[in-house]
Amino acid sequence: MTSNVRYSISIALFNNIELTKQCVDCIMKNTGDEPYEVLFFDNNSTDGTREYLRKQSMPHKKVFLSDMNRGFGFAHNHNLAHASGDYFVVLNNDIFMYEKDFLKKLAAALERDPKTALVGLTNTPCYLDGDGHGSVAGTGMPDYVEASCMLMRTALAKEGLFSPEMEFAYFEDSDLSLHWRQRGYSIAHVDMKYAHVGGQTSALVDAGFLKATQERNQRIFIEKWGNYLATRKFTGAVAVVFVSNGFGDALNALPALHAIRKRYAASRITFYTTYPDLFRHEKCFDEIKAASHPDDVRIAEGSCDRIIVLHDVDYQRRMPLWKSIADKAHVTADPAVRLTLSPDEEVQSREYRASLSADGRKLAVVNLFLERLEWEGRSLRPETAAQAVARLKLQGYIVVEAGRNIPKIPAADHSFIDITDIRGLVALINAADIFVGIDSGPFHIAQYLGKRSAIFFGATAPVSRIMDFSQTEPIVSDIFCIGCYHRSAHRTGYHTCPRGTIECMSIIPASFDAWLSNGISSSEWYLIKEFITAAQASGAPAVPVVRRRGFIARCDSLARRTLNRFPRLKQFLKEVRRAKYKRG
């Protein structure tokens, strides 16, 4: 740290002003001559706490005010982002430190061993029972450090403090302790003079909400650390499982795999998947094993610290699949990760490019039919696919068809149907300038290669499938879907068009031609239509000005990541905020 501040003390507040005053008085009396700062995060107190903080004259004070009660973990994670000290101290406002130079003594315990991650107080809950609940009484080495008073090196804390998956309160401190212990660090406890009132803030929060939160967080905690609770040891091994009939779905686990690798950096990770060749060159696991069915995954009891099953996810219409998978793993993933090619595949990709486009023309790889014929609403009709290829050729593209067990399109310049294996398909798509397809495995390869793509979705919802709208254009029909794919609430048959005509995949929308000629982005038009749908769902009137805050929030959450890349869309949102946009 470059600041002169040595300690950053983080305090989360929700009312209880008298406790806060006593806590602050103890800090000011017993910190000695070490430079420190206090970061207050107020969770919407209404008892005069904010006025007290405004008038408080302690040096190096930082105050952050929330318009709602965001809970314990969020408050301290927020404060950590603004901390300047070498050490980060999590402190409850209902704990009173009577020990002189308590900060120095906590830090001294930490510095005795560079592999100590957290230091807390003796006579606090530090032992876990089989259900993950903490208690003061226990034998052997303590399991965790309670966060009523906890010190970490700030640099280490910024690698991982309280996990966002532990919402609001409960289990975040034991989860944090086991996280660092599993990575090879230790914890320590220091004997000091203090008083802890305990339970004062939780008494001010709705009891039903707290009970539901505690039960939810406990389920997550046991899912993560059940093996430790059973064996009281760490194996240094993690198993990750994604078994699926669709390799496109499996590929959407890639962001989660990278996040898991980061979280369990010191662990040996084994990945069980139906498509080991697809992930052959990835560095986010130590071993990969083939498994075509969940029953094929054989993991000896107690052999792993954690078994993470990724394939059992909800396909939510407005939740990208990669994020649903990451949420299942309880990790924060980055969708910008890319599929890795080997040096030989890079060479193969260049050779494809040279042989298929000898005259230097642009190369388009297409995949317009689905191998699984029962999903009729996801494939273009043969005559429609031929029209799409013809339009690509009119724009000067050399068209290469790829896939397996699908019909050939006579108008295509080259056909790689049933010729390449899955890694050859990766090299082929990597050679292309653009990819044009349907919602299928090859499309997801194109996504994770960062390839500019146009995807025919018919009347289905692409939000759950597209990773980045700035790179992938959803070609969506104007025909309203009354039940087919990804809209299970309306579905009347298994992936079957109730109209019987599959009109949405029989007509090429004008947005495809606009995309080919670099006109207005079909993504922009699609998202704008989604926004209008969101406005209607929010209860906005049909013609008058849209003013509803819920609508704006939905717009932001849907497209925040891509607004800067879509100027028209950004301007659209500005107009909505200014209450100038009128629907109708």
pLDDT over threshold 90, residue 23: yes
Confidence tier at 457 by pLDDT (50, 70, 90): confident
- Quick one: average pLDDT of 357-370? 90
pLDDT at position 517 is 75
Which pLDDT score, from 0 to 100, does residue 273 have?
A: 94
Q: For position 504, what pLDDT does the model report?
A: 78
How far apart CA 280 and CA 303 sit, in angstroms, is 24
Give per-residue pLDDT as tens, 48-97. Answer: 999 999 988 887 889 999 988 998 999 999 999 999 999 999 999 999 99
CB 83, CB 154: distance < 8 Å: yes
Asked whether residue 98 carries a pLDDT value surpassing 80, the answer given is yes
In this predicted structure, the answer to whether residue 108 has a pLDDT above a threshold of 90 is yes
SS3 459: coil
Read off the pLDDT band of 568 (50, 70, 90).
Answer: low
392 within 8 A of 399, measured Cβ to Cβ? yes
Residue 46 has pLDDT above 50, yes or no: yes
User: What pLDDT score was predicted for residue 537?
Assistant: 52
Q: Which residue has the higher pLDDT, 574 or 544?
A: 574
pLDDT, tens only, 128-173: 998 888 898 777 889 999 999 999 999 999 988 998 888 888 899 9
pLDDT number for residue 369? 84
Beta-carbon contacts of 352 under 8 Å, excluding residues fewer than 6 positions away, are: 427, 428, 431
- Model confidence at 554: pLDDT above 60: no
What whole-number distance in Å separates Cα of residue 132 and Cα of residue 30? 34
Q: What confidence tier does 493 reach under pLDDT thresholds 50, 70, 90?
A: low
pLDDT at 575: 53
Instruction: Return the percent helix, strand and coil in the chain, to nearest 5.
Output: 35, 20, 45
pLDDT confidence of 426, banded at 50, 70, 90?
very high
pLDDT at 527: 58
Between these two residues, 530 and 419, which has the higher pLDDT value? 419
Whole-number pLDDT of residue 1: 43
Measuring CA to CA, which residue among 450, 544, 461, 453 is closest to residue 504? Answer: 461
What confidence category does residue 208 fall into, taking pLDDT thresholds of 50, 70 and 90? confident
Q: Does the pLDDT of residue 34 top 80, yes or no?
A: yes
Between these two residues, 549 and 402, which has the higher pLDDT value?
402
Residue 399 has, within 13 A of its CA and on its CB side, a CA count of 24
Q: Is the pTM of this model over 0.75?
A: no
- pLDDT, residue 467, reads 84
**Beta-bridge mates of residue 9:** 38, 89
Would you give the DSSP letter of residue 461?
A: -
pLDDT-derived band at 579 (thresholds 50, 70, 90) equals very low
